[in-house]
Amino acid sequence: MPFNPAKHHRRSVRLRGWDYSNAGAYFVTLCAKNRECLFGTVVHGEMQLNEMGRIAAECWEWLEKQYAHVEWDQWVIMPNHMHAIIVLHGRGALQRAPTESQPVKTKSLGQLIGMYKTVSTRRINEFRNTPGIIVWQRNYHEHIVRNDDELIRIRRYIANNPGKWESDLENPALITFAPATNPNPSPR
């Protein structure tokens, strides 16, 4: 299907003019493709990761170790999405000193998310022997954390997310379908 700008347009949720490699805290949400519950289940308000969820968590932890300017704050992997606060320390304010064998590498928020999705998708597909299958929904939601009160509120939201799964709009168990109507009802 050829590109048609009247039909095929995506509105960016990014803050116009903001450099997403700037130091700061970012709240991100990534969703599994088609909101499929791939990563485990919530049992009595606690997230129970399955093997794919453990792989997703390992890849998340690995990514932070790769970049000195990146720090994970609060994060949680849910059955079909994840929430995280990512802190970027900026190009000139690295938290960990690089060694000669580890040169300074910096990435923007979008590059970090892209790398995470690539690495976790590859590892999950290796595990389930499904090469080339898409794991994550295209793009992600982000919000620039603007102050300490907002940071505290978002941390609380992330920490409480598994406990609210039963009423979470991302929970596919909450999707209800309207009853089918019969266009040709039989006479009584």
> Which CATH number does 24-173 carry?
3.30.70.1290
pLDDT in tens, 44-84: 999 999 999 999 999 999 998 988 888 999 999 999 999 99
What pLDDT is attached to residue 62? Answer: 94
Domain locations in the chain as residue ranges: 24-173
3-state secondary structure 75-95: EEECCCEEEEEEEECCCCCCC
What pLDDT is attached to residue 103? Answer: 54
Nearest CA-CA partner of 22 in 104, 85, 90, 76: 90
What pLDDT is attached to residue 104? Answer: 53
* E strand residue ranges, the chain: 24-31, 40-43, 46-49, 70-77, 81-88, 141-145
Virtual torsion, Cα 88, 91, 94, 96, nearest 10 deg: 100
User: For 49, phi and psi rounded to 5 degrees?
Assistant: -70, 140
Give the whole-angstrom CA distance, residue 130 versus residue 108: 29
pLDDT in tens, 115-144: 999 999 999 999 999 999 999 999 889 988
pTM above 0.85, yes or no: no
